[in-house]
Structure 1
Amino acid sequence: MGVIGKLFYYKKKGNLKRLKKWEGELNKCIRCGYCYELCPLFKSQNWESDTPRGKLMLIYGMISGEIEPNQQIVEKLFQCFYCKNCSDNCSAGVPVTDILTDARADLIEAGFDVEGTIVNINEDLCSVCGVCVPVCKYDALSIEKVGKDENKIVVDKIECRGCGLCVAACPSGAISQKEGCEVTLPELHKKVTDLLKENKDMKAIVFCCNWSLFPGMQLSESPTLVKTNYGLIVSMCSGRVAPELVLNAIEEGAWGVMVAGCPPEECDHDGNYKTRRRLVLLRNMLKELNIEPERIKLDWFSTKESAKLTKSIDDFVKKLEKLGPIKKMEESKKIGG
Structure 2
Amino acid sequence: MHNLAAAGALLLALTAAVGVSLATGVTEIEWASVWRAGPDGSDAQAFALWQVRLPRVLLAVMAGWCLAVTGAALQSTARNPLADPGLLGISQGAAVAILLTMVTAPAWAAGMGLSAAAMGGALAAALALAALTRGSSAGGLVLVLMGIALESALSAVTGILLLYAPAEASLSLSRWMAGSLDQANSRTALALLPWVLASLLALPALGRRLRSHELGDALAQALGEDVRRSRTAVLLAAVLLTAVTLPAVGPLMFLGIMAPHVAGALSPATGGMRLLLSGLMGALLLVGADCLTRAAVSAGTLPVGLSLALIGVPLFLLVLRLRKLRSARMS
Structure showing the higher strand proportion among its residues:
1
- Give the number of the structure whose alpha-carbon radius of gyration is greater: 1
Q: TM-score, normalised by structure 1?
A: 0.24
Q: TM-score, normalised by structure 2?
A: 0.24
